[in-house]
Each structure stands twice: as C-alpha cells, then as structure tokens.
Amino acid sequence: MAERERVIEVRDLKTAFGKTVIHEDLDLDVYRGEILGIVGASGGGKSVLLNTMLGLQRPVSGSVIVDGQDIFNSPDRQWLASNMGVMFQNGALFSSLTLQENVEAPFLEHTEIRGKFLSRLAQMKISLVGLANDAAYKRSAELSGGMRKRAGVARALALDPKLLFLDEPTAGLDPLAAAEFDDLIVSLRDALELTVVMVTHDLDSLFQISDRVAVLADKRIVASDAVEKLRDSEDEWTRSYFQSRRARRFNSGGD
Ligand SMILES: Nc1ncnc2c1ncn2[C@@H]1O[C@H](COP(=O)(O)OP(=O)(O)OP(=O)(O)O)[C@@H](O)[C@H]1O
C-alpha cells in the first residue's frame, strides 16, 4: 500500500491555561484526504486542540506542522487563513447579516474581491452546500438548524481551503438533517479533495463517515484507528467508550 501523506503533524504538544494543563505529550497525524473524527470526554480539550491546530491557540511547547509549515514558527497568516476552513460549534454565523453576507465575509477580510464577482462567488459557495438561491437573502435567525450548518460550511469553504475543521457539526440537528449533513461532508471531501478534521460526540457520524478516529483522554491522543477497531483498543478509556451501551449497537459483532 502506498505511504499515506501526512498533512498535519502535531508533535509533543503541551497546552495550558495558567497552571491548568489541557494537553501534554500529545501527538497526532492527519492524512491527506481522510475524514478524521476526534472524540473524548466533555471538557477534555477537543476544542482547544482544534484551535491549536488552526493556529488560534498558542501551545506552551511542541509543534503543529501543516503541509510542512510550522504554524507557530514564522507562520504565513494569509496562507493559513486560505488553507484551513473552520466551522465552529453552532455554525457561528453573524446573526445580523444575511447568509450571502456571511459567506462574503472571508473574501472581504482576506481578498480584494468586491462587487458582482464577490456576490457570484458567494452564490456558488451557497449552492455548493446544497442551499437554494433564495436562502442567500435570509438572516441567520430565519434559517433552520440544518441550513445554518450548511451556511457555516459554505463560509468555511469560501477561500477554497484544502483542510476543513468542524467542531460538533451535527449537534442539535434531528437525525435526518444530521445524516444529510454527513452525506454533504463526504461529497464535499470527494469533490474538493478535502481533508476533514471533525470533533464530534455523534456516534452515527463517526461510524458512517470517519475514516479514522483519534481518542483524546488523559491530555493526549491515546488511540487512533478505524472506528470499528477501537472497541478492542489497548487503551482502557477507548475500550470503555466504544464498548459502551450507546456504541455497542454500531458494532456488527456486538451483542
Ligand atoms: N479560554 C480559556 N480559558 C481558560 N480555560 C479554558 C479556555 N478554553 C477552554 N478552557 C478549558 O479547557 C478545558 C478543555 O476545554 P474544551 O472546550 O477544549 O473541551 P472539549 O473536549 O471540547 O469539551 P466539550 O466536549 O464539552 O465541548 C476545559 O476545562 C475548559 O474549561
């Protein structure tokens, strides 16, 4: 089998808020083209890890290499902004703006594109995520939860990044909308050749669309593998998570 290409390498990472250490001795690889799920206990540091990989949270020590570039050591901010798209928890749209204006925001911040071409580009992104044209003029409060998530993805993909980060993307969606959102992520990954890093508690998403899952426990990544292998992990926390009553129904060999 061909050697997989690492697109993100997190090495020996330590993060802390004051004296509270969140991560220590944390290593993580993300391979090009995969959908990587990140799971762990609530409050265990998944969002902080995501923010650190995005260059938004400076670690105490260790490194994050993205496409060969050490993002905390002379980072190219413009390159990072256009190569890494993120949808934070709740979609995080500007509520006073229309959907179209939300999708235009990254262009206004990072490019010189204005006028008709800007509107056209924003509309292309909106249709890319399966939203109808008339949704473009609605404010975020007028959109359903599922539409808001799609809008968040349209904004995250505005500058054509190759890396997409999602924090709890299906939280708050009904099962049908969540499954549709999962399908959207897979089709976008395939069509745009994205690499996707997704923090989630949603076992359906993990089993349906992730290629690998990394488990964050005790401040570090204790296991990373195809999800169906994690119930037999050497790590105890990982085993108990994937052998839990809720996870058991996904294991075909389970009882
Ligand atoms: N800006 C901050 N200042 C101080 N502490 C913070 C800050 N951001 C996060 N923390 C703390 O870091 C720890 C990890 O938080 P984080 O949000 O990464 O957890 P999580 O695994 O994403 O949790 P959840 O699954 O509940 O969303 C928590 O104890 C949180 O209180």
**20 exposure class (CB count in 10 Å sphere: 0-12, 13-18, 19+):** exposed
pLDDT at 90: 65
Residue spans per domain, the chain: 6-248
pLDDT of 101: 95
Nearest CA to ligand 1 atom 3: 17
CB-ligand 1 contact for 169 (6 Å cutoff) = no
The pTM assigned to this predicted structure is 0.94
How far apart are the CA of 165 and the centre of ligand 1, in A? Answer: 17
Q: Which CATH code of 3.20.20.70, 3.40.50.300, 3.40.50.150, 1.10.10.10 fits the domain covering 6-248?
A: 3.40.50.300
- What's residue 188's pLDDT? 98
Return the ligand 1 atom nearest residue 89 CA.
27
β-strand pairing of 195-199 with 35-40: parallel
Which of ligand 1's atoms lies nearest the C-alpha of 50?
18
The reported pLDDT for the residue numbered 74 is 75
Question: What is the complex's ipTM, to 2 decimals?
Answer: 0.97
Mean pLDDT by 10 residues, the chain (255 residues): 87 97 98 98 95 95 94 83 87 85 93 94 95 90 90 95 96 93 97 97 94 98 96 95 84 53
Contact 63, 72 (CB under 8 A): yes
